[in-house]
Structures are given as C-alpha cells and as structure tokens.
A and B are shown apart, each in its own frame.
Chain A
Amino acid sequence: MLEVRHVTKRYGKTLAVDDVSFTLDPGSVTVLLGPNGAGKSTIMKSIIGFLKFDGEILVGGEENKTPQARRIIGYVPEIPALYPNLTVSEHMEFLARAYRLTDYSARKEALLARFELSEHSRKFGDELSKGMQQKLNLCLGLLPEPQVILLDEPMIGLDPHAIKELRSTIEELRVQGRTLLVSTHIIDSVDMLWDRTVIMQGGKVKANVLREELDAQNKSLEQLFFEVTEGLKPEDEAADKTEKTGEGAEV
C-alpha cells in the first residue's frame, strides 16, 4: 500500500534521511521508532508530500504528491495546528469541503462524539486546550476516511480516555484494512498495537521487523530498540543491572 523507495533528503549539507526504503501492507500498523534526530519526522513529512526529496514514494501505486494519492492519505501532525477563527464544528465542515466529501455528516458527528468534542463544537480553535486541539486534529485526519494514515506522536498530551479511544480506533482501522504508520518515542504506548516496526537512526533504517519475528526471538520491542540503536544485547543489559544494584539479578 505504501512504498518508500530509496528516499534521501538533504537540508543543505546535512543528510536527514539516507536511502530509506520500506513497504507497508494494507491492514497493518507500523511503528516508526528512533532516537531524536533519527529522521522520523522528516520521512513522515516526505510521505505526506511536504518536502522535496530524492527517491520515490508510492501510495496505492500513485506518486505521493498527486491529488489522487493525497486523497487517500490522512495525516495527524505532532503539534496541533488549528485556525483561530473557526470553531470545532466549522473545522470539520471546512475540511469536508476542501476534500469535496459527500455524506460526511454522520461520520463527523460520530468522530466528534467519540473523542468527546461534541459539547465543545462551538469553541474557537484558539480556545481549546492542547489535548482538545490534538483530538480535533485526529478527527480531522480521520474524516476523509483515508486508506493510509500517518500519526506523528499521537499519544502525547491526550488524556486516558482519549488514549483508550485512539487505541481502539487504531485497532478498528487495522481490521478494516487500512495502513497505519505511527511514529513515537514512547515505546510502551504502542505495545500490543503493532504489526511491524521500523527503527531509524541517523537517517538510516536500522531494523525492519515483523511482530511474529520478534515474538519468535522472545524479545520485547524495547529490547530490540536498544539493541539496534545502542548495540546493547540482552546479556549486556543484565550486566548493566548487576553493576547498578550490586546484587545478582535474574535475567
């Protein structure tokens, strides 16, 4: 569904993304992990078509910057961005018109209700708290019923109810056959959710692992992350712990 082929992005002399390739299948959730400056944000923005890059990105077979491709991609930014002079409800209406959606009213109400924004539907964009802004961005991203959904650090700032709803939403979308790419720092938040993980560091893909494979090796996502990024093996970790506590620790 989503194919990233040999994408390279330079900012002046810095190489933000270096020959990154991966393919995501429909009906799957992929977790994009990596330390700061790994290039996660850059690759996401490249997929949605904000940036110029070398290489190719295909969405549903189409090049990612075409209107056809953009029609099926949904994007939820890391930092919520709303219009100060439109209300919650008006934001949804505005987006529906920009996407030329038909028959969206029921979906709009359902989304707003699900993320508890219905009673705030007449508040202006700049009157919302940060969490509510994020939820609205989420609703906006999901309104056009996209096939490929990019979520940049979606859990930060959400209250527990919203996190729960988001997780169940992600699960539902997965079952419906959509492709999701979730980028995050907090590994715990996406445990249980993912089918594939792509771990980046220094602009390169260091690991591209399916869940079954990881389960087969009996590793946790966290362990894999540190192994890949810091070269820590599980045995090293145990040794680390022993040093710190000064006692023999069970592995």
Chain B
Amino acid sequence: MSFIAYYAFHSFINQIRKMLKTWVLVFILACGLIGGLIGFGVGMLSDISDDMEPVPEPGAEWYSEDYGPSAEPPGSEVLIPPSEDPALPGDGEEGSSGVRDIFELIYGGVILAAMLLSILMAEKGNGGRFLPADVSLLFASPLRPQTVLFFRLLMQLGVMLYMTVYMLINFGNIAENMGIGLPARIMIMLGWFFSMFFGKLLETYIYLASADSPKTKRYADGALYALILVPAAAWFTWWKANGGSPLKAAFSFFNAPLSRVVPIWGWIKGMGMYAAEGRMSMSLLCLVATVAGAALFTRHIWNMNADFYEEAMAKSEELAQAMRDIEEKKSAFGSAKKKKIKSDIERDGMNRGLGASVFFWKSVLNRKRFSKLLLITKTSGFYLAVAAGVSFFMRSVMESSSCVPAAFALGAMVFFRALGNPLEEDTKIDLTALIPEYAWKKLSYSALGGALSCLLDLLPAIAAAALISGGNASDIKLLLICVPLILSVDLYAGSCGSFIALSTPANAGTTVKQLVQIMFIYFGLLPDVGVIAVAAVFGRTALGIFAASLLNLMLTMIFISLSGRLLDPRPGRPVYTDENCPGDPAEAKGSFDRIGRALFIMLAISTFLQLRAASQLPAGFGAEHPWLVWLVQMAPLYLVAIPVGLLIMKKLPASDGEMTRKLSLPAWLGLIPIGFFLMYSGNIIGLILSALFSYFFGGGAVSAADMNPLTDLFTDTQFLPRTLVVVVLAPVIEELLFRKALIRRTRRYGEKTAVVFSAVCFGLFHGNLPQFCYASLLGLLLGAVYIKTDRIVYTIGLHMCVNFMGGVIAPYIMTLTLESGEEGIYPAPVLAFFSLIVTLFFLGAAFLAQYSQRLSFGFAPSQLRPRAARRCAWLNTGMIMFVALSAAVIVLALL
C-alpha cells in the first residue's frame, strides 16, 4: 500500500506549498497565532487565579467524596470502579461514575456517528468521485478496483483528519479529568481510528454493492434511518419502562456492559472503556475482536466482484468539468447536484424581473416549480420534523415551554445546509457573466432569493414549534425574533462560502477549502454568540438577537461585495511607456518643492502662533470668551498661514481634468459610509500605533480629541463656535487647500500621484498620530472624488458630514454615555448611535471593496512613471522640510 502513503504525503505537502502562495494560508496562520496567544493568555490568567485560590479540580471532588482523604491525586493511574448495577436506575448520585458515564455515552455516540456518516456519504454517491488521473493511471494499473476505491475514499477523509488532530489535543484534558492513564488513552484513540477505518470500509462496501445493483443504495438509506431510529426507539421504551430521568435511562441503556458485545460498535467502545476501567484483558479482547471483524470485512470486500470503472469514468468526467469551471472562477466545491427533472412540472417561462433582479425571480420560479403550495419541499419537511421533535422533547421530557432549543436546532440545520456554496449555481453559469450588471447586484438578488426560500422552508417548522411547545406569548415572541437571526445566518454562511470558493485557488484540495470555510464561518458567528450572551446577561436577549442578525447582515454585505469584486472584470493595469509619460522630472520636482516649502511655512507659522497664543492666554480664558478663544486658535492658521502658503503656490500652473463629472445623489450618499469606514479604521490604527509608541517610548496616550495645545481651554460653552469651525469652516478651507489647490497643481504629473500626495500632506498637517492616520485615509477618498469629478462641492460636503459625525455627534454621545454609564443603562440615543456606527462601518467596507475596483486613472499631460513621480514628489527640499517638521510635531504630541 505504499502508493497510498506516497500520494497522501506528497499531495498534502504540495497543497500546503500551493496555499503558501496565496493569502489563505497566511490567514489561517494568523488565526492560529491569535488563537494561540489567546489560549496562552487565558492559560496564564487561569494559572494566576489558580495560584490565588486553591480550586479543586472537577475530578477531585468526586474522588474525595468516595474515597476520602487517602485518595490519590488526579492524573495518576487510578482504578475507576465499575459503574453501579445498570439494572437499577433511579436517582442515585451522579457522583462516582458521572464523568465516565457521560464520556461513555458521548464516545459511543461518536463511534456511531462516524459510521452513520460513512453510510450517508456512500448514499450520496461520494464514493464515485474519482479524479481523471485516477482513471487513466490507476484503473489501468494492476491494482484491484477495491484498492483503488479504498485509496480514493481514504483521501477523502479530509476534514475528519483535522478533527482528529483537534480531538487529540483536547483529549488530554478530558482524560485528566477522568483520571485515566496512558494505556486507556491509547485505546480510546485507537478506537477513534478504527471508527474512521470502518466507516471507510462501509462506504467501500456500499459503493461496490450498489454498483452491481442500484437497489442496494436504497437499502443503505434504510440502514441509515434504522441505525438512528431503532436505538432511539429502544431507549425510549427502556426509559418509559424503568422511569427516572432520561439521562439516567440513557446511561443504563447505552452504557450497559451488554452493549459492549454489539459487533464493531460495542467492541470499539469496549476497547476504550475497559481500559479506562482498568480491565486491560477485556480491553485487549475487544481489540482483537475489532481487528478480526475488520479483517473479515476487508476480506469480504476483497473478494467481491468489483467492476465499477464504467460508472466511475462518467462521474470523473463531471468532476473534471467542475475543475475546469473552478479554473474559470465560475464554480466552487464541485459539480452541482442534478435535480431530477420531473415530467409533470409546468414549464411556462418566467416573465418577471429586470437586470440583476432576474436572479431573485428565478428563485421564486424555482420555488413555485419544485414545491407544493410554495411551502412544502423536502427541506421544509425535514425542518418541520426537527422542530416538532425538539419541541415535543422539550415539552414532554424537559417540561419546558421554551422554544429556543427548536430555534437553535433549526439554525444549526440552516447553517450546515448553507455550507458549501449555495450561490454557486448562479455564479457558475456563463450567462451570469454576460448579464450587464455589477456582480454584487446579481449576487445580492441571488442571495435574497435563497433567503426567501429559506424563510418559506422555515415557516411550517416555526408554526409547529410554536404550537407543540405550548409556550406563552413571550416564548413565542422570542421564537419569532429568532427567525431573522436564522435567515441572517443563512445569508452570512452563503455569502461567506461564495467568497471563499471564489478566492481560494482552484487546485487547493477540497479539504483545505472546507477547513477555511468552517473557520471563517465560525469566526463570523462567534461575535453573534458573544453579543447574544452579553445581552442575555443584561436581560435584553431579544435585543441581542436583533443585534446579532444585524451583524450577520453587515458581514453578508461585505462578502457579497468582495465576491462581486472577484467576479467582475477588473480594469487592466496601466502600461507606462515613454509615449504616455512625457513629464519632465526636473520640472515636476521643482513644483513639488515649491509646494513643500509652502506647506512647511504654513505649518511653521500656524504652530508657532498657536503656541504663543496658548502660553499668553490665562487659564479659564476659554470658558469666559468661547468665541474669542476659537478665533485665536483659528486665526493663525486660516488668516495667516494659509493665505501665505497659497501665495507661494500661486506661481505654479494649475490644471483641471478634461471633464467634470456629476454624481447622482445616491452615488454621493454612497460615499459617506466609505468616508466613515476610512475614518474609523484610520482612527483605530492611529490609536493602536500611539499606544504601541507610548508602550515602548513612554509618554502619554493621545486621545483623538487632542487636537492642539488649546484643548484645556475647551468647555461646553464652546459648542457653537466649535461646531461652526469644525463643521463648516475647517472642511471648506481644508478642501480648498488640499484638494483644489494641491491637486490642481500636481495632477498634471499623474493623477494617482496627486491623490496620494495630497492625502498624505493632509494627514501630516494635522499634527498628531491618530489624526494623521485617519486624515490620510480620508484624504485618499476625497482626493479621488475630486480628481474624478472636478467638483470641490462634493468633497466639501463629504468632509462636512464626517466632521459633523466626529466633532459633534460623537462627543455628544460620549457625554450621554458617561452620564448614564454609571447607572448601567444606556439610553436609546447611545444604542442607536452605536448601531449606526457599526452599520456605516460595514457598509463603508462593502462599498469600498466595490468602488475601489472600478477606480482607474487616466494619463495626465505631463505624466511621470510611478517611481519617478514618487521621487519627485517626496525627495525635494521643500517636502523634506515639511515632512520633518510635521513628524516632529507628531512625535512631540505623543510624548
């Protein structure tokens, strides 16, 4: 079998090598690092808290109860007494066998699940997925078909292996708690491996058997249901017959010694459990039995008549086509399932929808075709069964009227169903690319259609849950609030899956893709859990659920936007030749030099004058004369420095773009969230950097409100002057200077250069680190808008909005928060503001991802090549002076 090992090893290594070339692996590594750090930190914290207080280990508790002070410390090999007589349930203490019972139950469940999963996979025709290379290389080789099949199935273990590693890591803890020694741990892990192995054998067997006769597949179906329902029904009967709590009944039923006689399942379980109980001879006996069973089964499969190559070849053609589709960025995880075409469905065409919305109406039409009364589909039936079952269980067994478990179960099912790439069907087809709309629109409509379908599937289930659980009004209200949450999870998982599918390289194995997707989705849903938990603590669960739904929606938008970016064709990269770069570097350098000097002088004058003023004015001056103090602050800058600077720059020739462009109102409004996103991101980056700086170099942390040396003169009475300056005066003047003046004089050397240059100057001018960060980022947006539209009004408006938000609303909310924070209740405006910020942040990110892709700059009259442009712009006396001065101001502000 060395060819299997060879392939597994090399294929895995090569997949990693390939992934290293893309961002995905970096992301995984980063997450791993963060996770490791968090774990390490938490570990340290818990160590510290452990040192402070001797907390008994959970296992130790029942130790001392049963064995008294002479108990051996946990972790060493200890004999665990066999469980109490299983024939006598009843409400005994969970004490001595509690942990072990639970473990055995779960372990048994896991083993069964592994085998059920294999049957399910076989039933889904998973075994037939051979690669084209398998056909030409392995089918033609002297290997037996069974061997080839087993090989391919083993390679599909994929995610199970990662789970194994994860379990291995965590198993140590559990074993510690159970106080079982090394031999037992080895046996338990061996049991796990045997479960997987048997699972694959089962899959092989079912595939081979059904290749010969298609009826076998249906038997596999039946076996699956039987393996779930029969034990469940048996347990139910046992429980009803013997009374006591359902959990106790489960223990006595599934963990009975007799259960270890059950072929394969019981033997595997016995291997581990006897070892845990210290009965190594029995454990070894179970091991021998398992190995014998495996050997017999293998031998039987070996001797089967296996002639499935013909069917496998056809399937592999499909797979090859799917791989080709992936190459062309049209598809994701593999061939889409073929829906059986029923002959009785109506085939009347669809006559709704225009543009991208056809994808929505297509979903509606599909729904009409493949469902009865719009509500009844296979999925909705399944959901209904689950919801009814859970609600019934809750009501009769747990005697609770809560509908939340049902909602949770439904949410989990929707989640797993959305794994994979539900938008694939639409992104896969060439027609999609032909429709002349932006990809994100098409994806959005497609996702909406999916969500509608999901909602319709959920309705019967929700109704059932509400009726069966017998809950009161508040229970039902909570249930209803869960519906948007479930839908938002569906949207999120779908859009996230689509993005991952489109962005991971085509030949990264399915395993890796699945892993990445699981990570993304869990990371995305973790905040949900956090939000809901926090809200629950404060007694506002419903609000938490709502907030979580909103969060998912935001993330959905981002992923759709990113996916759209991947699907839409990008403008080509400009090619710089001598022809289209006629600029003269010397002349450019001269221009930038002059601008640099102008900026330097402006900054010098304004800083100097402001410092003088601050030192001259007495304390308390600001409170008494609000207008005056603002005048004093602004005058040096606006009345002296800037006019001087403009004069210096006036000499330079200014140019406008070739055409001005009007932005429609919706388009302009769409820029506002982008501005916010850039502003908040920049702020965060700046704060982190300042914190780092002060950590390493000392000095006070900087708050974003620290704008200049006159801060201590600010008070509430200065609201009106402050507002006027911040919201009206400053934007106008800054725009006129940094955009109109600066860009018009530099755009002839290259539009991109001009935008970046003006943005950085804008940032530097603010004189402190957080503002540098966010002003630069904002400056990029404003510069781009100005250069593309040649209308300063747009940028002034944007700047005003941003300043209004940050300079007026934010401080107001801040004061509200501070006032009410003591009482622990946050008033509505605070919450509303918070939601607004979060919404705008995510909206901005989504829009940015979209617009930035379509942004392209033309060639300017004196265009310079990029590197030359950068050199001219920054490496000249004036700019160097300016940068040095502003850097000094920033550093001083940090200290």
Where the two chains meet, the residues of A that have a C-beta atom closer than 8 Å to any C-beta of B are: 45, 48-52, 65, 67-68, 70-71, 73-75, 77, 79, 81-87, 90-91, 93-95, 97-99, 124-126, 137, 140
Contact = CB atoms under 8 A, between A and B. Distances in A.
B139 A50 contact: yes
Given A50-B135, A51-B310, A75 B6 contact: no
A109 B141 CA distance: 21
Contacts of A68: 142
Interface string B118-157: 0000000000000111011111111110000000000000
Nearest to B147: A98
B14 A98 contact: no
Contacts of A67: 142-144
A93 B6 contact: yes
B143 A50 contact: no
Of B6, B138, B144, B320, most A-chain CB atoms within 10 Å: B6
A65 B309 CA distance: 11
B3 A124 contact: no
A193 B138 CA distance: 29
Interface string B322-359: 01000000000000000000000000000000000000
B509 A98 contact: no
Contacts of B323: 84
Contacts of A125: 133
Given A50-B139, A90-B10, A97-B3, 13 more contacts: A48-B140, A51-B309, A65-B307, A73-B140, A75-B140, A81-B131, A83-B7, A85-B11, A85-B509, A87-B14, A93-B6, A94-B6, A94-B137
A250 to B, nearest CB: 47
Nearest to A69: B142
Contacts of A99: 141-142
Nearest to B10: A90
B313 interface: yes
A95 B320 CA distance: 20
B15 A85 contact: yes
B144 A85 contact: no
A48 B141 CA distance: 9
Contacts of A126: 507
B240 interface: no
Interface in B866-893: none
A86 B11 contact: yes
Contacts of B141: 70, 95, 98-99
Of A81, A91, A126, A137, most B-chain CB atoms within 10 Å: A81
B507 A84 contact: yes
Contacts of A73: 140
Interface of B: 2-3, 6-7, 10-11, 14-15, 18, 131-133, 135-144, 307, 309-310, 313, 320, 323, 507, 509
A186 B546 CA distance: 69
B129 to A, nearest CB: 14
A124 B14 contact: yes
19 contacts: A49-B140, A50-B139, A65-B307, A70-B140, A75-B140, A83-B7, A83-B131, A83-B133, A84-B323, A85-B14, A85-B15, A85-B509, A86-B14, A94-B3, A94-B10, A98-B3, A98-B141, A98-B143, A140-B137
A49 B18 contact: no
B56 to A, nearest CB: 51
A224 B140 CA distance: 33
Contacts of A98: 3, 137-138, 141, 143
Nearest to A66: B142
B18 A124 contact: yes
B310 A75 contact: no
A137 B320 CA distance: 17
B11 A83 contact: yes
A73 B140 CA distance: 8
Closest 6 CB pairs of A and B: A81-B132, A97-B3, A67-B142, A84-B507, A71-B142, A70-B142
Contacts of B2: 97
A183 to B, nearest CB: 15
A75 B605 CA distance: 84
A86 B320 CA distance: 16
A111 B213 CA distance: 43
Contacts of A137: 136
Contacts of A85: 10-11, 14-15, 18, 507, 509
A173 to B, nearest CB: 17
Contacts of A87: 10, 14
Given A86-B7, A97-B3, A99-B141, A81 B320 contact: yes
A89 B106 CA distance: 46
Contact of A86 (B10, B136, B140): B10
Contacts of A82: 133
Contacts of A51: 309-310
Given A50-B309, A90-B10, A97-B6, A75 B136 contact: yes
A131 B809 CA distance: 66
Nearest to B138: A98
A49 B145 CA distance: 11
Nearest to B14: A85
Contacts of A94: 3, 6-7, 10, 137
A49 B137 contact: no
Nearest to A50: B309
B139 A49 contact: yes
Contacts of B509: 85
A126 to B, nearest CB: 5
A77 B139 CA distance: 12
A74 B141 CA distance: 8
Contacts of B507: 84-85, 124, 126
Contacts of B143: 67, 98
A99 B137 CA distance: 10
A83 B144 CA distance: 20
Contacts of A65: 307
Contacts of B320: 81
B151 to A, nearest CB: 9
A137 B568 CA distance: 36
B661 to A, nearest CB: 44
A90 B140 CA distance: 18
A73 B137 CA distance: 12
A133 B18 CA distance: 19
A77 B142 CA distance: 17
A114 B18 CA distance: 29
Nearest to B131: A83
B310 A50 contact: yes
Nearest to A78: B136
Of A50, A52, A74, A77, most B-chain CB atoms within 10 Å: A50
Of B142, B320, B323, most A-chain CB atoms within 10 Å: B142
A87 B17 CA distance: 12
A87 to B, nearest CB: 7
B321 to A, nearest CB: 12
A50 B816 CA distance: 77
Contacts of A71: 142
Of B2, B11, B140, B307, most A-chain CB atoms within 10 Å: B140
Nearest to B309: A50
Contacts of A140: 137
Contacts of B3: 94, 97-98
A81 B6 CA distance: 19
Nearest to A46: B310
A60 B15 CA distance: 41
Contact of A81 (B7, B135, B142): B135
Contacts of B136: 75, 77, 81, 137
Nearest to A126: B507
Contacts of A95: 137, 141
B16 to A, nearest CB: 10
B509 to A, nearest CB: 7
A125 B131 CA distance: 13
A81 B3 CA distance: 18
Contact of B313 (A50, A70, A86): A50
Nearest to A137: B136
A124 B142 CA distance: 25
A14 B158 CA distance: 40
